[in-house]
Amino acid sequence: MLGTTGAGKTSYLLGMYAAMQSGMRGFTLSAKDIDLDLELTERWEQLISIEGADRWPPPNAGVVEHCFFDFNYGFRPIMSFEWIDYRGLALSDRSNEQDVQELSQYLSDSECVFLTISGEYLQNQVTPTTVREIKSDRMNQFLQQYISNKYRPTTNKPFPIAILITKYDLCHHRKKEEVIEDIKKLFQALFTPDSGWLVMICPVSLGKELEADTDSGMIVPVNVHLPVVFAVYSQLRAYGLTIKGRRVVLTENIEKNKQLNPVLRWLKRREKRHQLNQLEISNEEINLIESNMQLLAQELQQVSLFVGGNEVTAEVTADVQT
């Protein structure tokens, strides 16, 4: 999760986890470590029970937060993942700093990246000053160096990027289309034709009243579950494509076996039984994956998705883009 200091990354994490504990349309999130669950819950309760500037968590000055979660539907685990939150100042440090080196390594190993942009910088049309304030130029550089150069994303195998507009209550007065166009200006490479990026633009907020009163406004999280839904959806889609590729190979091998003479078919009977068994397992896996994708895709109808610069809808099957 990348963003400048004060972008609301930690507050978003706390709000997202609190909302997902109770569940959003059957989806829940659970910490693998019961102590982490308690810590996140206590920090959230402090945020909603205290008034004044002290209600908000301090900037993540020097600690890299690692959280291990299970994403569930009806308490049935769908996927486990690690959440990593970096201090905002890492975007400004030089490459020889330890936190930047750690950030670079974890980015290279990531399968989805969240970019956080505070709505306070989108209250008006973006300018070159906005780029400097939110460090979008540095985010672009990190994506180029540690994601694009390693994964070489394509439209058939895109890399997922979630752009979170935190504190959306501060810019909700603008038209949605205007805000999206500004996001595209800040991250132009992610929206170029055939660029191979699967991008979600998602406004999130901890409450509409916070625009007028950050110290005591009512906290009612909005859309906080959608970025996690997107991350899980994108990984299910990628895994589904892998399983379908495996199924194609199995099917071809089974058909080749049928063309053999009777003696060779008899000699390879055990191999054929194994292939048929693996084909059945692959079909079951694909059915389960696409069933989960359908559930998640329903949630993603609320946000803007782009592949190679083109706006798309969330697919309910694991197929390549055409």
Share of the chain above pLDDT 90, in %: 44
Residues 43-85: tens digit of each pLDDT:
999 888 888 888 888 766 556 778 999 999 888 888 999 998 7
Q: Which residue type is seen at 36?
A: L
Task: Out of 61-70, 199-208, 252-261, pick the least confident.
Answer: 61-70
The domain ranges of the chain are 9-234, 237-301
Write down the pLDDT at residue 322.
45
Judge whether 293 and 236 are in contact, CB under 8 Å: yes
Judge whether 187 and 139 are in contact, CB under 8 Å: yes
CA distance 223 to 28: 14
> Which residue shows structure tokens 């999206």?
180
Task: Out of 1-15, 49-63, 219-233, pick the least confident.
Answer: 49-63
- pLDDT at position 89 over 60: no
User: pLDDT confidence of 97, banded at 50, 70, 90?
Assistant: low
Residues 115-134: tens digit of each pLDDT:
999 999 999 999 999 998 88
Structure tokens at 322: 């055409």
Alpha helices (H) along the chain: 9-22, 34-49, 98-109, 128-134, 136-143, 149-151, 176-186, 226-258, 262-267, 269-299
Residue 42 burial by Cβ neighbours in a 10 Å radius (0-12, 13-18, 19+) = exposed
Q: Which residue type is seen at 185?
A: K
Q: Is 232 helix (H, G, I), strand (E, B) or coil?
A: helix
Which architecture, in CATH terms, is 9-234?
3-Layer(aba) Sandwich (3.40)
For 172, phi then psi, to 5°, come to -70, -10
Task: Out of 93-107, 214-228, 230-244, pick the least confident.
Answer: 93-107
Write down the pLDDT at residue 1.
82
Q: Write the Ramachandran bin of 310: left for phi over 0, alpha for psi from -120 to 50, otherwise beta.
A: beta
Residue 268 burial by Cβ neighbours in a 10 Å radius (0-12, 13-18, 19+) = middle
**pTM, 2 dp:** 0.87
Q: What does each C-alpha distance from 18 to 94, 119, 206 come to in angstroms?
A: 35, 22, 11
* Average pLDDT, rounded, for the chain: 87
14-29 average pLDDT score: 89
